[in-house]
Structures are given as structure tokens and as C-alpha cells.
Amino acid sequence: VPDDVLLNASTMQNKKELVEAYFYFASYFINIKQDAVKAKLYLEKILEIDPAHAAHASSGRNIVACCVQ
């Protein structure tokens, strides 16, 4: 995702949909691709866009951390 999208995401009206998409990508990378590093990147992007989702992203990062060996 281009950086300018992330920088403008906080002012976007579809911020909720972008956060949901990042959750989907994080789930895809951890469950299907088994790539915890990429999953963690998407969880961190969620926090950049909307810190109100810190609890969800934090629990996701904890799951990812368990998978990273």
C-alpha cells in the first residue's frame, strides 16, 4: 500500500473499510501464507490509521508473536 494512502487514511471517510481490509490481510498472511512478519506489518498499519483499534491490533500482534519462531 502506498505511503500516501496511509498518510491520508485518517482523513478518509472509508477509514473503517481500510481497517477491515488490513485485518483481512493480516489474517490471510498468518492463516494461509503462514507469514507472521507480513501479518504483523498489516496490524501495525491499522494502528497508524486508527489508534482506537489498539486492543484488536494488540491481540493480533500477540497471536502473531506466538507464531514467529
Residue with cell 491499522: 46
31 within 8 A of 10, measured Cβ to Cβ: no
pLDDT of residue 46: 82
29 within 8 A of 38, measured Cβ to Cβ: yes
CA distance 47 to 19: 9
pLDDT of residue 3: 54
Nine-digit cell string for 16? 473503517
pLDDT of residue 45: 85
pLDDT of residue 28: 93
pLDDT truncated to tens, each residue of the chain (69 aa)? 555 555 555 566 778 888 888 889 988 998 899 998 898 888 888 888 877 766 666 666 665 555 544
